[in-house]
A and B are shown apart, each in its own frame.
Chain A
């Protein structure tokens, strides 16, 4: 099983800071890349699904980019708020039917 790697493992920022996370994944036979937001005691919440090289997606203050040729994706949060505190997961697929997840980046935003 080829690994999906996320960095950093954890991040602590102040309210209003902008931040970004990295996800690296196997670029061969790429099919899809997902980002999720997972708060404790809740279900993982889908943020983005990206399938094409160069894709850029945006949802409120959160955006993501995708480079399938080199196998990486960035997630950006502009002006972090305490309610953005969560674990952010990325997952890639090269089969169409299974997602390989990274271990996540744990974000804490303090007032």
Chain B
């Protein structure tokens, strides 16, 4: 069974640009969550989608958005990039919710210059 995949793995952008990151969950999983890790911080929850609906959103500005497609693949978008958005972005998938094992992808490392 293929694991969670994320593309691209690395990305360099400049301030003011926007970026789209993609996450393909494990086959059959309908819940996809996104997390951000910056130096010195733990993983911070961004949002969670289930069957194309956002069920929960973390404390991030509106520049951070996401969506989920009918095949459960998910994308997150960051507009008007800031230097502080440089981080590792991880997605995780599960069948339903956090009472189940969350399977993480390898992450996308974003560098904003």
Interface residues of A (CB under 8 A from B): 1, 4, 31-32, 34, 36, 42-46, 49, 51, 89, 91, 93, 95-104
Contacts and interface: CB of A to CB of B under 8 A. Distances in A.
A93 B43 contact: no
B41 interface: yes
B56 interface: yes
B97 interface: yes
Interface residue tally on B, bucketed by range: 20 to 34
B14 interface: no
Contact of B105 (A43, A91, A104): A43
Given A97-B55, A98-B45, A43 B99 contact: no
B59 A1 contact: yes
A98 B98 contact: yes
Given A89-B43, A99-B45, A31 B105 contact: no
Contacts of B16: none
B42 A96 contact: no
A43 B100 CA distance: 17
A51 B99 contact: yes
B99 A96 contact: yes
